[in-house]
Amino acid sequence: MTVHYTRVGEGPPLLLLHATLSSSRQLRTLASRLARQRTVVSVDRRGSGESANEGPAGPIDVAVHVADLLEVMDAEAIARPAVVGHSYGGCVALELAARRPNHVGPLFVYEPPYAPVASPAVRAGMDAVGRRTLEARDRGDLAEAALVFMEGVSGPAVVEALSPGARARIGRAGQGAVADATLSGMEPEGLGRISSPVRIATGGASHPLYREIAEGLQARIPAADQVSLPGLDHMAPVLQPDRVALAVEEFLQP
């Protein structure tokens, strides 16, 4: 097996995919909540967590992540799992469903930064974050790359407020920032092939760009809808897992 993953719970299968600068470990509480009704398989994507050393020390095409998930599904004998993805994990979930529509069930994606459906201004901003992240990598400093990425996504005040321990933890996720920073290989023209129900969730306290992207995705995915979760921000799957789990369970209930 190329990538690391964990399995918890019993019942219908669910794949859980983490954000950039994160790993399955940070979604452990969310996984345990969802595992009350399902078998949850939490994957560390290439470049992140226990899979940090898998793949090249550079951007990873989303097709590679899709292939890894299919390998995990084969290894675990999982058929048509539900898929829950946070941030870039949501982008990967959408690409999996678009490229292999018969292999997955319903998708719940929380604030995927799916740049190709955003406005030119938003796309330019995301491109700039990716470029600065790779420039830091090219200077030989993966820890700086991680902090540059975080600053580009969350703003300098968030980085300045990090405790020394949090700064060190983020710095260790530099390979994941580099892997995801350029949003490589996404194919928006394939979104129309998604046949499963899709719920695109945004937080009421998040940056408006995520709502803009959600609207762009809904316009392209036949069975997609949106939900806004009041008071939540981009890190809600990590910091407020109970509320996110409830929203997922409401979506997935028969």
What pLDDT shows up at residue 56?
A: 66
Residue partners of 2: CB distance under 8 A and separation at least 6: 46, 51, 54, 68, 71
**Looking at residue 2, what is its pLDDT?**
84
CA-CA distance, 198 to 190, in Å (whole number)? 14
pLDDT at position 55 is: 65
pLDDT < 70 stretches in the chain: 1, 55-56
Output the pLDDT for position 89.
98
**Distances from the Cα of 94 to the Cα of 6, 84, 172, angstroms:** 21, 10, 27
Task: Tell me the backbone φ, ψ of residue 98, rounded to 5 degrees.
Answer: -75, -35
Q: What is the pLDDT of residues 77-131, one digit of tens each?
A: 999 999 999 999 999 999 999 999 999 999 999 999 999 999 999 999 999 999 9
Q: Where are the alpha helices (DSSP H) in 206-240?
A: 208-220, 236-239
- What was the pLDDT predicted at 227? 98
pLDDT of residue 254: 77
User: For 46-190, where are the alpha helices, taking DSSP H only?
Assistant: 62-75, 88-99, 120-138, 142-154, 156-160, 164-171, 174-180
Rounded to two decimals, the pTM is: 0.96
